[in-house]
């Protein structure tokens, strides 16, 4: 008789998943993602690319905020840094895009040491606001250092050919982002089941206790900042190819808050949660907009004048309600559902 899912050995405990059913559905999901471009137009593809890039960024942020407990509102700064690094290297310095993209991650990671240092002393919301301050300073720099960054004019990226594939083509871009997301997901899942990942979790749960157990806070906090910023910077680099024209308007505070919303609504500390959160937050405005359109003609006409405001109103309410009903986010909802079905009829 099956009484539950018992894990009896360490290798099983750290396995990515021990369940063949999970693998089956993952493969099915991957297959669905691969055939998607055949069935979708430019808009859906554009939306899918946005989701993929947001998911990469959210996973990066989640590594820092969800897994290590260092709340950061500054990741939009690193996103900007990554995006501009790739854009400027290609446009002004004629770097091949193959090298310019990884440099986005590397520059962001290098910058993160600067921001990571306050984290050694600051906690919680104080850290959040300080990182927010850094992101303001980064965008201010991008705006004013005109000789380096083109200032308010923005950067146009012409050369978008990576390894012979032109990322200006939405389908190619989609597959490329999908590939990067898969790599980042695997990478982060693997970090989380090593010593480093467990140290991150220990720091999140209680940093003083973690130090007492021999975890070097300086090293691990800075590692978390660097790893997270590398991934976020990479997402920024992808954005350079997504828009092919970048300027600082893209990287507003709203973006940082949206990113935070993604990982919280998705479920803190979980890679899958970050991805689900990205899907949710990006699709929400679209779905709400379509839902308003579907209402009976009489009502939707009345609403159409204020349609955009009503959309905003509903987005806010959905975020509030999601957290109200399940503070662990959508991953919490998923876990509860799973438990309910797998333990039925013993479940409550």
38, with CB counted inside 10 A (0-12, 13-18, 19+), is: exposed
- Where in 296-315 is the site for other proteins (CB under 8 A)? 306, 308-313, 315
Among 58, 71, 103, 178, binds other proteins (CB under 8 A): 71
Least distance (Å) between residue 39 CB and other proteins: 6
Q: Which residues pair with 255 in a beta bridge?
A: none
137, with CB counted inside 10 A (0-12, 13-18, 19+), is: middle
Among 170, 237, 266, 269, binds other proteins (CB under 8 A): 170
Question: Residues with Cβ < 8 Å from 188, sequence gap 6 or more?
Answer: 59, 63, 231, 271
Nearest to 181 by CA among 86, 42, 75, 276: 276
Least distance (Å) between residue 331 CB and other proteins: 13
> Rounded CA gap, 224 and 64, in Å?
6
- Where in 79-108 is the site for other proteins (CB under 8 A)? none
Among 253, 291, 295, 337, binds other proteins (CB under 8 A): 253
* Structural contact between residues 278 and 55, judged by C-beta atoms closer than 8 angstroms: yes
- Where in 21-50 is the site for other proteins (CB under 8 A)? 37-47, 50
* Structural contact between residues 257 and 76, judged by C-beta atoms closer than 8 angstroms: no
Q: Taking CB under 8 A as the rule, does residue 188 contact other proteins?
A: no
Q: How many residues bind other proteins (CB under 8 A)?
A: 77
DSSP per residue, 184-201: HHHHHHHHHTSHHHHHHH
Least distance (Å) between residue 293 CB and other proteins: 12
Nearer residue to other proteins within complex by CB, 110 or 137? 137
- Looking at residue 152, what DSSP letter applies? G
Least distance (Å) between residue 6 CB and other proteins: 29
Q: Taking CB under 8 A as the rule, does residue 283 contact other proteins?
A: no
Stretch touching other proteins by CB under 8 A, among 164-172, 187-195, 223-231, 291-299: 164-172
Among 10, 93, 153, 341, binds other proteins (CB under 8 A): 153
């Amino acid at each position: 008789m099956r009484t539950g899912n018992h894990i009896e050995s360490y290798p099983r405990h750290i396995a990515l998943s021990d369940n063949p059913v999970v693998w089956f559905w993952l493969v099915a999901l991957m297959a669905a993602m691969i055939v998607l471009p055949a069935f979708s137009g430019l808009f859906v593809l554009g939306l899918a690319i946005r989701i993929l890039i947001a998911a990469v960024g959210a996973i990066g942020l989640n590594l820092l905020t969800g897994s290590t407990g260092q709340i950061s509102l500054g990741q939009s700064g690193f996103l900007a840094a990554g995006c501009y690094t790739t854009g400027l290297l290609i446009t002004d310095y004629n770097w091949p895009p193959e090298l310019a993209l990884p440099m986005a991650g590397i520059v962001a990671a290098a910058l993160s040491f600067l921001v990571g240092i306050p984290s050694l002393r600051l906690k919680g919301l104080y850290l959040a606001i300080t990182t927010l301050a850094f992101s303001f300073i980064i965008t201010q720099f991008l705006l004013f250092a005109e000789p380096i960054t083109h200032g308010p004019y923005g950067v146009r990226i012409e050369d978008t050919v990576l390894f012979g594939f032109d990322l200006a083509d939405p389908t190619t871009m989609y597959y490329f982002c999908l590939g990067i997301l898969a790599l980042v997901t695997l990478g982060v899942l693997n970090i989380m089941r090593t010593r480093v990942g467990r140290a991150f979790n220990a720091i999140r749960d209680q940093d003083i206790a973690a130090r007492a157990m021999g975890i070097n806070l300086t090293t691990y906090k800075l590692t978390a900042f660097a790893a997270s910023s590398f991934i976020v910077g990479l997402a920024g680099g992808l954005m350079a190819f997504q828009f092919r024209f970048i300027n600082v308007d893209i990287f507003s505070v709203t973006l940082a808050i949206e990113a935070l919303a993604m990982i919280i609504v998705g479920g803190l500390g979980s890679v899958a949660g970050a991805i689900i959160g990205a899907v949710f937050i990006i699709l929400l405005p679209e779905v709400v907009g379509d839902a308003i359109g579907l209402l009976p003609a009489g009502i939707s006409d009345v609403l159409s004048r204020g349609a955009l405001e009503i959309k905003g109103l509903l987005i806010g309410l959905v975020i509030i309600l999601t957290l109200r009903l399940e503070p662990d986010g959508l991953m919490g909802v998923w876990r509860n559902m799973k438990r309910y079905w797998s333990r039925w009829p013993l479940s409550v």
